[in-house]
Amino acid sequence: MSEDVTPVSGTGTWTEQEIRQQPESWLRSLDSIAAQRAQIEAFLALALSDDAYTRIILTGAGTSAFIGDIISPWLSRHTGKNITAVPTTDLVTNPADYLAEDERTLLVSFARSGNSPESVAAVALANQMVKQCYHLVITCNEKGSLYQNAVISKNAYALLMPAETHDRGFAMTSSITTMMVSCLSVFAPEVINRTRFQDVALRCQQILDAHRDFSKPVFGDLPFRRIVYLGSGGLQSAARESALKVLELTAGKLVAFYDSPTGFRHGPKSLIDKETLVVIFISSHPYTRQYDLDLLAELRRDGEAMRVVAISAAEDFAAENELHITLPPARDFIDVEQAFCFLIYAQMFALSESLKAGMTPDTPSVNGTVNRVVQGVIIHPWQQEV
């Protein structure tokens, strides 16, 4: 899209257009990955040639960091590989805690722009500190430093997302989910591929189609002053991203928190009052789901929150006077697939609350202290400890 194109959406914002384009962008990216599969497999064969001793670090800054947090628990268990998530903001400040000279490492960097100072510095630090280091760069901007450096590096592979996912809105929406599905497809193509993922795209498209007017409230037209998102396992990280979305798009006017359903009882539950909205992402795993439903029932019994919302694939525990959102019918989804549906709801809610607060969603930071690409970061040279 050229720079002078006006967004086509009900709210007239890039943010809405970028939320709505996601299902199509996911499938476009999966098609691109399928076309590159031979090159990707050749790179992974090189990077993971000593598989038993290779550490895979999923990294990024801010929302890009949450991609790794959401998918790494499932991806590590499914593949049997040593996969962890570490934000670039931690890698840069404490590199010796995460990077070891003799530990073969594949650094998977997620980036919308590819120009965040920490993201660029994390790659340089890994190359400096690790003898055998490889890089998979998953980014939405072919003009960004991360992409440009990767395409000329012998130890890197650059995976470019569809151009429209280089979100113009302040908050990352289509960029996070497209990079997320792309990484899943790289490492687990037998599960996350275009054929199977069409079901996820269709379910999310149905959610979007059901919300024709993004200016209307998603979880009810109530005067919420704070929101808590809750989720178990990787869905806790989806809850974290959901909380950040509403903080970003309302410039902090709606205060947001996140936790796991079991962790929430250990102190954070005390923040609930009559102006609080609680949203629980209900797990699809039958064991984990029990803990989610226990807290849901407890919060409803307490009656302390303004509203308690459950989002789930099942409808067998809807309660009178409480909002229960049932996902459109589909095959059974694992949680890492269901996370895409939950994030769609969180994005729509954040946009509607931004508009309700009188904000400009594409540029919510009126004073300019928070920027689309972070500014003001000084990268200090790393010197090996004696």
For 124-159, how does the pLDDT look when each residue is reduced to its tens digit (9 = 90+)? 999 999 999 999 999 999 999 999 999 999 999 999
Q: Is residue 313 part of a domain?
A: yes
Whether residues 126 and 238 share a domain: the answer is no
Whether residues 193 and 247 share a domain: the answer is no
CA-CA distance, 74 to 184, in Å (whole number)?
10
Say yes or no to pLDDT of 370 above 80.
Answer: no
Of the candidates 202, 214, 162, the one whose C-alpha atom is nearest the C-alpha of residue 23 is 202
Q: Is residue 137 part of a domain?
A: yes
User: H helices within the chain, ranges in order?
Assistant: 14-20, 22-35, 37-47, 63-79, 88-93, 117-129, 145-151, 174-187, 194-210, 234-249, 261-264, 286-302, 335-356
Whether residues 55 and 194 share a domain: the answer is yes
Q: Is residue 148 part of a domain?
A: yes
Whether residues 172 and 266 share a domain: the answer is no
Whether residues 224 and 300 share a domain: the answer is yes
Structural domain of residue 246, as residue ranges?
Answer: 220-356
- Mean per-residue pLDDT of the chain: 92
- Kindly state the percentage of the chain with pLDDT values over 70: 92
Residue 1 pLDDT class (50, 70, 90 cuts): very low
pLDDT value, residue 314: 87
Q: Is residue 376 part of a domain?
A: no
Q: Is residue 374 part of a domain?
A: no
Whether residues 232 and 309 share a domain: the answer is yes
- Give me the CATH number covering residue 246: 3.40.50.10490
CB 335 within 8 A of CB 235: yes
**What contacts 359, CB < 8 A, 6 or more positions away?**
249, 250, 251, 253
Whether residues 251 and 309 share a domain: the answer is yes
Total number of domains in the chain = 2
Phi, psi for residue 230 in degrees, rounded to 5: -130, 140
Q: Is residue 384 part of a domain?
A: no
Whether residues 178 and 312 share a domain: the answer is no
pLDDT value, residue 49: 87
Whether residues 41 and 69 share a domain: the answer is yes
Residue 313 pLDDT class (50, 70, 90 cuts): very high
